[in-house]
Amino acid sequence: SLSEKLGNIANKLRGSARVSEADLDATLREMRMALLEADVALPVVRHLMSEVRERALGAEVAKSLQPGQVIIKILNDALADLLGGQRRDLNLSKIPSVILLCGLQGAGKTTTAGKLARLLIGQGKKVALTSVDATRPAAREQLQVLAGQVDVPYIAGDGASAAAMAKSAVKQAGRDGHHVLILDTAGRQVVDDELMAEIREVAGAVGATERLLVLDAMTGQTALQIAEQFHSAVNMSGCILTKTDADVRGGAALSVAHSTGVPVRYVGTGEKIDAFELFDPQRMAGRILGQGDVVGLVEKIQAGVDEEQAQKAADRLKKGQFDLGDFAEQLGQMQNMGGMASMLKMMPGMKLPQDALDQIDDKPIKRMQAMVYSMTPKERKYPKLMNGSRKRRVAMGSGTSVPELNRMLKQFAQMQRMMKKMKGGKGRRMLAQMMG
Ligand code: GDP
Ligand code: MG
């Protein structure tokens, strides 16, 4: 799914301590693929990508302390903006306010009329429902049943045409003192001129305050076309995305919101009458990126700690204070990063043949760590203190041997020399990478 894919990309970013412009481009390419596969329309993807790129470069992601987080935040904000920025409530100041629901047959208009009625009653509004499907009595009955379920009056409008029925229902709603009349209309299989003319006529006859397009989230690419046609006919004031529970790709909302400028107001999340929510662009963007708030927070803290550790080690390196304790800490980080071989591959200026890398065994890392942890802090700082009796003590304490300990101390001395050579920027970056 889109959220899975973008979530994966986000996770990868979270793990990287450094993002170059090339990394950024690679990440954007991955995002682009994920968005396209999720049925987000190409112009929307293009817009989003250029937006993210511009903001990322402006934010100097490569130089920031947590580049991955910064990119995720940028993408999150760009997505939210695309989805309408802030959530907007319906304009229901007029009494009665008429909410016109339009859309193709099967989009979920009638179900949504019931759901919306229930939601507005919960806000203390006096709501009534009416259907102006002039040709299908069964469609009107379906809404009548729903009205009974949510306990709001159903108003049957009189008249030969949909517009006439709508007009008479609005009059009735006014007489009965309702705040809101939700108007369910007839749908067709495909957008046709007859349907468009009828909806335009209904909207004009009742002066609907909100004209909401009910759109099946599973419609995919054609959602855009449908939205554009309805929008040009009645100037939609919003969109309700249904069946978001069944939509595995989730791209329709992005496309519709961006291309028509019609904001998504609510989402249907299931067949049940209470499976309906106010659409919140910020939350939706978060969901698409798969960032649970709690998870995100924990990761942020974690990233901050690692960053601090890397910075500390880098500072010590600069001052030539890099000791065995730092060494042991780094060995642990190395393991987390997939072992010695993958680390060596990342080291600048370190070109080892693959078969040599394959032979590297990471088990000794644990033993090395054990040896360091068996040393006193003073010994870690000044390995020269390690005489025969100290070595025997450490070997015993770590379950290793004196020759093994000697090898480790030699390796550390080599590493320290190498790091001194790479002091400064290069060494810092490498450390940052190592501490990841
Ligand atoms: P209409 O022709 O536009 O009035 O569509 P209906 O309201 O009759 O809905 C068509 C079908 O979609 C029905 O089976 C509904 O139960 C189903 N439906 C509507 N909204 C949702 C939703 O948010 N989630 C799911 N899973 N099904 C929905
Ligand atoms: Mg219907």
ipTM: 0.99
Ligand 1 atom with the smallest distance to the CA of 276 is 23
Q: Are residues 246 and 147 in the same domain?
A: yes
Pocket test for ligand 1, best of 111, 118, 213 (most atoms within 8 A of CB): 111
The answer to whether residue 286 sits within a structural domain is no
The verdict on 313 and 372 lying in the same domain is: yes
In ligand 1, the atom with minimum distance to the C-alpha of 184 is 4
143: CATH = 3.40.50.300
321 and 400 in a single domain? The answer is yes
Q: What pLDDT score was predicted for residue 145?
A: 95
Considering the domain architecture, whether residues 248 and 324 belong to the same structural domain is answered as no
Q: Whose CA is nearest to atom 19 of ligand 1?
A: 108
Structure tokens at 202: 């209904």
Number of domains in the chain: 3
Looking at the chain, the whole-number percentage of residues with pLDDT higher than 70 is 69
Average pLDDT (288-305) is 39
pLDDT band for 342, please (50, 70, 90 cuts).
very low
> Looking at ligand 1, which atom is closest to the CA of residue 244?
23
Distance 106 CA to ligand 2 centre (A): 7
Q: How far is the CA of 398 from the centre of ligand 1 (A)?
A: 66
- Asked if residue 342 is part of any domain, the answer here is yes
Q: What pLDDT, in 10s, does the model give residues 226-260?
A: 888 899 999 999 999 898 877 645 566 667 777 78
Taking residues 39-64, report their average pLDDT. Answer: 76
Q: What is the pLDDT of residues 66-97, one digit of tens each?
A: 666 677 778 788 878 877 777 778 889 888 99
Q: Which ligand has the minimum distance to the alpha carbon of residue 104?
A: 1
Ligand 1 atom with the shortest distance to the CA of 103: 3
Asked whether residue 88 is assigned to any structural domain, the reply reads: no
Query: 53, 82, 111: which is the final residue of a domain?
Result: 82
Nearest CA owner, ligand 1 atom 26? 270
What is the model's pLDDT at position 301?
A: 32
The CATH number that applies at residue 74 is 1.20.120.140
Residue 288 lies in a domain: no
375 lies in the same domain as 264: no
Q: Answer yes or no: do 304 and 256 share one domain.
A: no
Measured in Å, residue 219 CA sits from the centre of ligand 1 at 13
Structure confidence at residue 336 (pLDDT): 53
In this structure, are residues 70 and 57 in contact, taking their beta carbons and an 8 Å threshold? no
172 shares its domain with 271: yes
SS3 of the chain: the string is CHHHHHHHHHHHHHHCCCCCHHHHHHHHHHHHHHHHHCCCCHHHHHHHHHHHHHHHHHCCHHHCCCHHHHHHHHHHHHHHHHCCCCCCCCCCCCCCEEEEEECCCCCCHHHHHHHHHHHHHHCCCCEEEEECCCCCHHHHHHHHHHHHHHCCCECCCCCCCHHHHHHHHHHHHHHCCCCEEEEECCCCCCCCHHHHHHHHHHHHHHCCCEEEEEEEHHHCCHHHHHHHHHHHHHCCCEEEEECCCCCCCCCHHHHHHHHHCCCEEEEECCCCCCCEEECCHHHHHHHHCCCCHHHHHHHHHHHHHHHHHHHHHHHHHHCCCCCHHHHHHHHHHHHHCCHHHHHHHHCCCCCCCHHHHHCCCCHHHHHHHHHHHCCCHHHHHCHHHCCHHHHHHHHHHHCCCHHHHHHHHHHHHHHHHHHHHCCCHHHHHHHHHHHC
* CB contact set of 379 (below 8 Å; sequence gap of 6+): 324, 385, 386, 390, 394
Final residue of a domain: which of 51, 82, 113?
A: 82
Give pLDDT, residue 343.
Answer: 46
Q: What confidence score (pLDDT) does residue 142 get?
A: 92
Burial label, 111 (beta-carbon count in 10 A; 0-12, 13-18, 19+)? buried
Q: Which one, of 38, 1, 24, lies nearest residue 72 by Cα?
A: 24
The residue among 158 and 419 whose pLDDT is bigger is: 158
Distance in Å, CA 405 to ligand 1 centroid = 70
Which residue range is the domain that position 133 belongs to?
97-280
Average predicted confidence (pLDDT) for the chain: 77
Contact, 226 vs 199, CB < 8 A? no
- Work out which ligand 1 atom sits closest to the CA atom of 115: 20
Residue 287 placed within a domain: no
- Which residue, by CA, sits nearest to atom 5 of ligand 1? 108
pLDDT at 131: 95
- Between the CA of 76 and the centroid of ligand 1 the distance, in Å, is 30
Tell me the pLDDT tens digit for each residue of 84-136.
777 778 889 888 999 999 998 889 999 999 999 999 999 899 999 999 987 78
Domain-embedded: residue 127: yes
Query: Are 101 and 154 found together in one domain?
Result: yes
Question: Domain for residue 91, yes or no?
Answer: no
Pocket of ligand 1 (CB under 6 A): 103, 105-111, 187, 214, 242-243, 245-246, 268-271, 275
CB-CB contact of 107 with 216 (8 Å): yes
User: In this structure, is residue 369 part of a structural domain?
Assistant: yes
For residues 364 and 127, which has the higher predicted lDDT (pLDDT)?
127
Task: Indicate if the pLDDT at residue 163 is higher than 60.
Answer: yes
pLDDT in tens, 385-436: 999 999 999 998 888 899 999 988 988 887 777 666 655 444 445 444 444 3
Question: 300 falls in which pLDDT band (50, 70, 90)?
Answer: very low
User: Looking at the structure, do residues 63 and 102 belong to the same domain, yes or no?
Assistant: no
The arithmetic mean of pLDDT across residues 296-318, rounded, is 49
Ligand 1, atom nearest to 267 Cα: 23
59 and 205, same structural domain?
Answer: no
Q: Does residue 112 share a domain with residue 68?
A: no
**pLDDT surpasses 70 at 16:** no
End of a domain among 55, 82, 109?
82
Q: Within this chain, do residues 264 and 345 fall inside the same structural domain, yes or no? A: no
CATH number, residue 311: 1.10.260.30
What is the distance in A from the centroid of ligand 1 to the CA of 179?
25
Query: Ligand 2 center to residue 162 CA distance, Å?
Result: 14
